[in-house]
Structure 1
């Protein structure tokens, strides 16, 4: 797999569950039903496959426990991480504390981020793009990608 792609809309029910969108589900490894959901870096949630999560945990395990920044990072990053599993109807249950952290309401967007998905409140997600002009995006692309070799050669 080269990475996840796309944006998918879903609706959270009164119990905090949402149906995993079909287009997203097609990108998952066969039989994948368990995930880790945690706080994202912005006010969103992050949904990891177990394989992606295990890769990250392996990296975190190699960090220096004697560094206070490492300890703080671990608390922030791992603090709300929760294992969730698809139910028989193909839904995931969002923990109430994480749902509150990301201010998720009824309508959400699952946005691909290569090896994971970000879960955003639909209004906040739309606002991200409305507040970011095409010129801003062009400048960001130059800053982030400009130093890479041109792979089209």
Structure 2
């Protein structure tokens, strides 16, 4: 399980050094793709990504919405291998999609990471914290029953 938000830097070639505590869990490869709803990237261990691919394979290419999701997720999916220094190369098209430059945030989301531009991440967190009481009616049953 991946958790926590870690500040990181991309080098001038677009490489990200994976924090040491996560490297062992990611040695079998990673897949990076776009997020459908946020200006960030999703970084999956290969085994987790293969589960996503199986689900995407069940979608109809004849349904425009399902095909759009397949096109975006699969079309941007890029395999990443860690080098001996624990770095992965984030493809230029993916960096451009998420406006990643130098300072980024690696955010654990259980089975994957989100990669955010650090400034955009701070803005997103401020929006998330500012959830207005009138928005609480939109909570799903699962979220309404979540106790922490």
Sort the TM-score into its range (normalised by shorter chain).
0.7 to 0.9
CA RMSD between the two structures: 2.5
Q: Tell me the residue number matched to 2:105.
A: 109
State which of 14, 36, 44 in structure 1 corresponds to 2:31: 36
Shift of 1:23: 3.3
Q: What TM-score results when the alignment is normalised by the length of structure 2?
A: 0.85
Per the alignment, residue 15 of structure 1 pairs with 13
The size of the alignment, in residue pairs, is: 145
Distance change >3 Å, CA 6–CA 141, structure 1 → 2: farther
- Runs of 4+ in structure 1 deviating by more than 4 angstroms, as ranges, are 137-142
Cα deviations across residues 76-101 of structure 1 (Å, max 9, x unaligned)? 12111100100111101010111011
**Residue from 117, 129, 132 that aligns with 2:125:** 129
Q: 2: CA distance between counterparts of 1:115 and 1:63?
A: 22
Is 1:98 matched up with 2:114? no
Structure 2: runs of 5 or more not aligned: none
Can you give the 5+ residue segments of structure 1 that lack an aligned partner in the other structure? none
Structure having the higher helix fraction is 2
* TM-score, length basis structure 1: 0.83
CA gap 1:24/1:8 in 2 versus in 1, 3 angstroms? farther
- Contact 1:36–1:53 (Cα < 8 Å) also in 2: yes
Instruction: Determine if contact 2:59/2:67 at 8 Å carries over to the other structure.
Output: no
